[in-house]
Amino acid sequence: MPRDDSSDAPAAERLQKVLAAAGVGSRRACEDLIFRRRVTVDGRVAQLGDKVDPATAVIHVDGERLVTDTRLAYLAMNKPRGVVSTMADEKGRTALADFLGRVEQRVYHVGRLDADSEGLLLLTNDGTLAHRLMHPSYGVPKTYLCEVAGPLSRTAGRRLKAGVELSDGMVRVDEFRLVDTLGRTAQVELTLHEGRKHIVRRLLEEVGHPVSRLIRTAIGPIRLGDLRPGRTRRLTNAEIAALFKAVGD
């Protein structure tokens, strides 16, 4: 197969060096991965001696996407309640950028959480991935933990899974379970891949259980975990690869 002449461009670096810089392993270990045909570049099996531009090459290791462009940033944030889902707010309200002082890259939020909701937000400057995560055709699921008016009716879960007719159409949840009962309130967890405005609150109110607190705990393979409110963290290589896999890359 003829080699792409662009591999000899000044920006190109030896593939094993690029892999090592991305945290895959030592250069010797990366050379072994290449030798064992476990690395592909732009859809073809890589070979020892290959050079790549880390800013443009599409690299997979064992079938998982590896991002080598150091200009790209992928963050998880635990948005506190009362913070608006915008980078800056013209009304002077607390916004996402107020929590990103140490982040050098200019990033943007993927999707939204209303001001009264809290939990996981993803932030990135990778526009292609952000678009796919938000577009309904990719069906990336999101999981929410909600405190609702109780006690929980026996039919609520069945109705949500069967489908609830809202003003803008039918919506079904993928998963639903009762987590706990706390006096006159209940904690429930639900997963769905819809992204309509206030969709979780509207669904639960429609089945008779208005939401008093809503926390998004997962977006696809990324979980909120023990990340404290107002804090951010960079996603690991494995998490970034899992996000790409979730959108079919």
Give the residue from 75, 73, 74, 99 showing the smallest Cα distance to 86: 99
What tokens does 54 get?
Answer: 């880390």
168 is catalytic: no
**Cβ 144 vs Cβ 217: under 8 Å:** yes
Out of 114, 116, 226, 249, the active site residue is 114
DSSP code string of the chain: -PPPGGGGSTT-EEHHHHHHHTTS--HHHHHHHHHTT-EEETTEE--TT-EE-TTT--EEETTEEE---TT--EEEEEEPTT-BSSSS-TT---BGGGG-TT--S--EEES---TT-EEEEEEES-HHHHHHHH-GGG---EEEEEEEESSPPTTHHHHHHH-EEETTEEE--SEEEEEEEETTEEEEEEEE----TTHHHHHHHHTT--EEEEEEEEETTEE-TTPPTT-EEEPPHHHHHHHHHHTT-
The residues assigned a catalytic role are 114
